Amino acid sequence: MPRSLLGQGHPLATVDEQLRILRPSGTFRPFHESLASHGLHPLTRTGIDVLQINLGKMCNQTCKHCHVDAGPDRTEIMTRETMTHCLRVLEATGIPRVDLTGGAPELNPHFSWFVEQIRHLGRHVIDRCNLTILTVPRFKTLPEFLAQHRVETVASLPSYLPRSTDSQRGSGVFDDSIAALRRLNGLGYGVPDSGLLLHLVYNPTGAFLPPKQASIETDFHRELNNRYGIVFNHLYVITNMPINRFLEFLMRTNQYDAYMNRLISSYNPTAAEGVMCRSLLSVSWDGTLYDCDFNQQLDLPTRPRHIADFDLDLLTTEPIVTGLHCYGCTAGSGSSCGGQVAP
Start-to-end CA span in the chain (Å): 40
Please name which of 321, 286, 284, 290 lies closest in space to residue 304, comparing C-alpha atoms. Answer: 290
Pairing mode, strands 280-283 and 50-54: parallel
Name the pLDDT band for 13 (thresholds 50, 70, 90). Answer: low
Report how far residue 63's alpha carbon sits from residue 59's, in angstroms, rounded to the nearest whole number.
10
Does residue 163 sit in helix, strand or coil?
A: helix
Element (H, E) at 32: helix 31-36
Share of the chain above pLDDT 70, in %: 96
Name the pLDDT band for 232 (thresholds 50, 70, 90). Answer: very high
289 beta partners: 283
Distance of CA 324 to the CA centre of its chain: 18
The whole-number average pLDDT for the span 300-320 is: 96
Report how far residue 189's alpha carbon sits from residue 144's, in angstroms, rounded to the nearest whole number.
10
Checking if the pLDDT of 249 tops 60, the result is yes
Q: Is 1 exposed, middle or buried (0-12, 13-18, 19+ CB in 10 A)?
A: exposed
Report how far residue 285's alpha carbon sits from residue 76's, in angstroms, rounded to the nearest whole number.
7
- Determine the pLDDT at residue 10: 46
CATH superfamily of 45-258+276-310: Aldolase class I (3.20.20.70)
Name the pLDDT band for 86 (thresholds 50, 70, 90). Answer: very high
The whole-number average pLDDT for the span 161-185 is: 92
Please name which of 338, 336, 261 lies closest in space to residue 291, comparing C-alpha atoms. Answer: 336
Q: Is 222 exposed, middle or buried (0-12, 13-18, 19+ CB in 10 A)?
A: exposed
- Determine the pLDDT at residue 1: 30
Q: How many CB atoms lie within 10 A of CB 87?
A: 17
Q: Is 255 exposed, middle or buried (0-12, 13-18, 19+ CB in 10 A)?
A: middle
- Determine the pLDDT at residue 5: 41
pTM value? 0.94
Report how far residue 247's alpha carbon sits from residue 74's, in angstroms, rounded to the nearest whole number.
19
Checking if the pLDDT of 252 tops 80, the result is yes
Cβ–Cβ under 8 Å, residues 117 and 321 = no
Please name which of 285, 296, 279 lies closest in space to residue 83, comparing C-alpha atoms. Answer: 285
Helix axes of 173-186 and 162-169: crossing angle, nearest 10 degrees? 110
Does residue 124 sit in helix, strand or coil?
A: strand
Checking if the pLDDT of 11 tops 60, the result is no
- Determine the pLDDT at residue 145: 98
Cβ–Cβ under 8 Å, residues 329 and 275 = yes
Amino acid at residue number 264: I
Which residues make Cβ contacts (< 8 Å) with residue 227, sequence separation at least 6?
160
The residue ranges of every structural domain in the chain are 45-258+276-310
Report how far residue 49's alpha carbon sits from residue 117's, in angstroms, rounded to the nearest whole number.
18
- Determine the pLDDT at residue 26: 74
Amino acid at residue number 331: A
Q: How many helices (H) and strands (E) would you count in the chain?
A: 14, 9
- Determine the pLDDT at residue 167: 84
Average pLDDT, the chain: 92
Pairing mode, strands 97-101 and 124-129: parallel
Max CA distance (Å), the chain: 55
Please name which of 103, 73, 75 lies closest in space to residue 7, comparing C-alpha atoms. Answer: 73
